[in-house]
Structure 1
Amino acid sequence: MVRTIEYRSFGGPEVLEMVEVPESAPGPGQVRIAVRAAGLNPVDWKIFSGMMGGDAPATPQGVGRDYAGVVDAVGEGVDSLAAGDAVLGTVRSVPGRGTGPGTLTERLVIAADEVVPNPEALDFVRAASLGVAAETACGALRALDVAPGDVLVVSAASGGVGSMAVQLAARAGAAVIGIAGERNLDYIRSLGATAVAYGEGLEERVRAAAPSPVTKLLDCHGPQYVDLALELGLDPAAIATIVPAPPSIAKGARVTGGRDALPREDLRRTAGLVADGAVRATVARVRPFDLDAVREAYTELRGGHVRGKLVIEMA
């Protein structure tokens, strides 16, 4: 039997349950992974809370998208991976909105062609923190075509996606201005960006911090930053958001993120950069694979002030 986290109705973290289910064997083209760590993302709680829409689940649904672990069984026709291989990845079909499993489980069966090798220098906790954040950041920067000479503003720059976008944009040659709370400004500077605190007078502070006129803005928080971009004189084509809020869409901002990613390519490249020390994967806290700890982690994540990522580590 395998321990796994699931939910049967929409609600807060209290709807999550720890259950035991039979261990599944991988089918053709699949591998089974002994999960060592699973990263948490805001989209997880938005799904199990019902914020993403749709009917209440008719059957129990898994939770989580990001994982790192070790292959312990391979299905027929798989020759790219073998038992004992260290891997990481992201479940492509959102749990609760498709047929994909959740990653808060001791054993995960997934298509072999969705799995990325885990570099030897990258520990499982940091590897598990990468999936959604890396792919979303890479996709967003691709959608904005961030290049040398750009002055890019990133909102919620201390979060999982924001902190990754800041670093990757700086590596691409852009001058980056990261918006965050006062307590995270030094952290933003350590990532290679100019840090600006959010709050009243933000437009003036951004203008003063920019080495030249702002050319693009990536919103990782909400519609008020699309408004900021317009106040800064940006054309809607130069504004992207990972938060598909109707007001932002109505004002012409491009909704981006994973939809513009090259999933395996982006994740493989980012994992290599983190393993080499060229990019930092910030893990705010690591919690055990325990129901109370998982519920507490999602409660913290819902608060919206996590620096980097929260990760669940299996025993």
Structure 2
Amino acid sequence: METTIAEEAEDLMNQAIQYQEFGSPDVLNVVETETAEPGDGEVRVAVKAAGLNPVDWKIFSGMFGGDTSGLPTGVANDFSGVVQAVGNGVEGLAVGDEVFGSMKSARSHGQNTSALAKEAIVAAKDAEKMPDGLSFVDAASLGIAGLTACGSLRALNLQGSDVIVISAAAGGVGAIAVQLAVYSGATVIGIASESNADYLRSLGAIPVAYGDNLESRVREAAGAPVTKLLDCFGPEYVDLAIALNVGAGSYGTLVGTPEATEKGAIATGQRHAQPGDLERVGKLVANGTVKVSIAHVYPFSTESVRQAYTDLQRGHVRGKLIVEVS
């Protein structure tokens, strides 16, 4: 059967979510782009699902700066999919491999490097093979959250004998950090809303609702001196660590403001992640040790992606928002 010129042209086109100006989710649109070939150390992935993170909308809103020289550009970093093509110098990955990860390395393909696309160019070192039993949707939820949780607990040198407090414990990062800490043998106090108490118990944490008299309620729940604290929300929890007499170097924050670091908090997150962290988390999810909560799965369209980021901006979403690309 002969292939028409139109069909050949279609095969060379990719679809991606892009924005040409900063603003609300309304700046996001599905556009057609040329299919790119992977460069040295890169692979091209047929994206199955993409995970959304708050940092995505903070970038396209202009919160991190309004330099338009890099526009148009794509959205999202966390992905799962199937390897379509392999560049020179890539070892350990082959066409047909199911992979997941977070695009965090600098690349040269611009609009083809975002996760919200039918096809994406990914640095091979940012792609992990998916373990058996891990779905594409669950895998797409793990990138930034998994790397951040692993890096943060490493920075605090968490031990099985520790009593650790985790704020925003029902959030994307917090829930994984809670479960990794529980898995390590630590006693975990999870701070979240009262409505998330049963959810935190299901993850193995002792829930404490945020609000008045938090210090005394944490002490009562812990039943022993608190030795570590991970803040996944904001600077007030650095003050809580100090009030709880957590030692210097034993409390960290994902919100690394100058004020927080001046108070002795370790500014942590993905910067302290190491190769193999995401593979480890993926295996723990696949075997049921770590549970992921998926709040909603959206189809791949302009309207749906705009709605997904609108929902994410509103906050207080328990679980991850995922776009199923194909």
TM category (shorter chain) comes to over 0.9
Distance 2:58 2:139 in 1: 23
The one-letter amino acid paired with 2:204 is G
Match of 1:272 among 280, 283, 297: 283
Show the counterpart of 2:14. Answer: 2
Distance 1:22 1:103 in 2: 15
Distance 1:57 1:192 in 2: 47
Is 1:289 the counterpart of 2:300? The answer is yes
Is the CA contact (8 Å cut-off) linking 2:22 and 2:66 kept in structure 1? no
Is 1:176 the counterpart of 2:188? The answer is yes
Distance 2:271 2:174 in 1: 17
Distance 1:102 1:298 in 2: 15
Show the counterpart of 1:72. Answer: 84
Show the counterpart of 2:311. Answer: 300
The one-letter amino acid paired with 2:173 is V
Shift of 1:252: 2.1
Show the counterpart of 2:140. Answer: 128
TM (normalized to structure 2)? 0.91
Show the counterpart of 2:247. Answer: 235
The one-letter amino acid paired with 1:29 is G
Shift of 1:100: 8.4
RMSD: 1.8
1:31-42 matches, within 5 Å, as 31-42=43-54
Is 1:55 the counterpart of 2:76? The answer is no
The one-letter amino acid paired with 1:284 is A
Show the counterpart of 2:204. Answer: 192
Gap change, CA 1:146 and 1:99, over 3 Å in 2: farther
Distance 1:269 1:285 in 2: 25
Shift of 1:183: 1.2
Distance 1:75 1:136 in 2: 28
Is the CA contact (8 Å cut-off) linking 2:105 and 2:126 kept in structure 1? no
The one-letter amino acid paired with 1:274 is V
Show the counterpart of 2:272. Answer: 260
The one-letter amino acid paired with 1:167 is Q
Match of 1:249 among 249, 257, 261: 261
Is the CA contact (8 Å cut-off) linking 2:147 and 2:270 kept in structure 1? yes
Distance 1:105 1:265 in 2: 25
Distance 1:16 1:183 in 2: 33
Gap change, CA 1:57 and 1:213, over 3 Å in 2: farther
Distance 1:67 1:286 in 2: 14
Paired residue secondary structure (1:293)? helix
The one-letter amino acid paired with 1:119 is P
Shift of 1:29: 2.5
Distance 1:121 1:157 in 2: 26
Distance 1:58 1:75 in 2: 25
Is the CA contact (8 Å cut-off) linking 1:93 and 1:99 kept in structure 2? no
Paired residue secondary structure (1:53)? coil
Comparing 157-166 and 10-19, the one that deviates more: 10-19
Is 1:151 the counterpart of 2:166? The answer is no
Paired residue secondary structure (2:154)? helix
The one-letter amino acid paired with 1:292 is E
Shift of 1:119: 1.0
Shift of 1:152: 0.3
Show the counterpart of 1:103. Answer: 115
Shift of 1:57: 4.2
Gap change, CA 1:8 and 1:198, over 3 Å in 2: same
Is 1:162 the counterpart of 2:174? The answer is yes
Please list every run of 5 or more consecutive structure 2 residues that lacks an aligned counterpart in the other structure: 1-12
The one-letter amino acid paired with 2:135 is D
The one-letter amino acid paired with 1:249 is T
Gap change, CA 1:229 and 1:57, over 3 Å in 2: farther
TM (normalized to structure 1)? 0.94
Paired residue secondary structure (1:237)? coil
Shift of 1:56: 3.4
1:213-261 CA deviation, whole Å, 9 max, x = no partner? Answer: 1111100011111111112122342210111233322322111010000
Shift of 1:54: 5.8
Q: How many residues align?
A: 312
Paired residue secondary structure (2:260)? helix
